[in-house]
Amino acid sequence: MAVHEHPHRHVGFRLPSLRRAGTAEATAGSTTAVSAYAFAGLRLVLGFVFLWAFLDKTFGFGYATQSGKGWIDGGSPTKGFLSSVAAGPMESTFHSWAGDTWADWLFMLGLLGIGLALVSGVALRLAAVAGTAMMALMWIAEWPPAKHLPDGSLSMSTNPFADYHLVYAVALIALAAVGAGATWGLGRAWARLPLVERHRWLQ
């Protein structure tokens, strides 16, 4: 009986390929880096949304706020929006708040604070809480569930639940959850401050 040798067949255990492991680690590292940059980009863009709203309403650049009707010109940042609320469970409440000094200051300080926090990458948890509260109130003011207004006209709502206020709120929460201020921001330096180290909710 002839015995055939198979020189290319090896019996035993093989060590895992270092090349494959290194490639997997490199891929994971690059994915993490891409995610960090993506969240940082989202943070900066969203921060500009809030900052621009503050600047336009303050100085009246002619976008949402007409020239000469800015806050510094004596205009009210809340009167136009809140007085035009025409649906929802807080309609009368918003009408009573429209143009009040406290409402104007609270709204504008909120826009400025959230915008600066996002652009700089600090206090993202506070920004998420404040921004989510603001977006919730604005969502209620616009009241997307309404198909028609009290006068029978269409409300122009395109979705009964998900609108841009909800998207902004979810984005704020996500940015705070992943610590998006560390990339292209001052998040790491902020987190090392003694006060912030003692009170983590300030991060």
| 135 pLDDT higher than 80 | yes
| 196 pLDDT higher than 70 | yes
Round to whole Å and give the CA distance between 57 and 108: 8
* Residues recorded for the chain: 203
- What's the pLDDT at 16? 47
Q: 11, 91, 76: which is closest to 66 by C-alpha?
A: 76
Q: 47, 60, 181: which is closest to 113 by C-alpha?
A: 47
Bridge partners (DSSP) listed for residue 154: 148
Let me know: does 144 contact 163? Beta carbons within 8 Å. yes
Round to whole Å and give the CA distance between 74 and 65: 12
117: pLDDT confidence band, cut at 50, 70 and 90?
Answer: very high
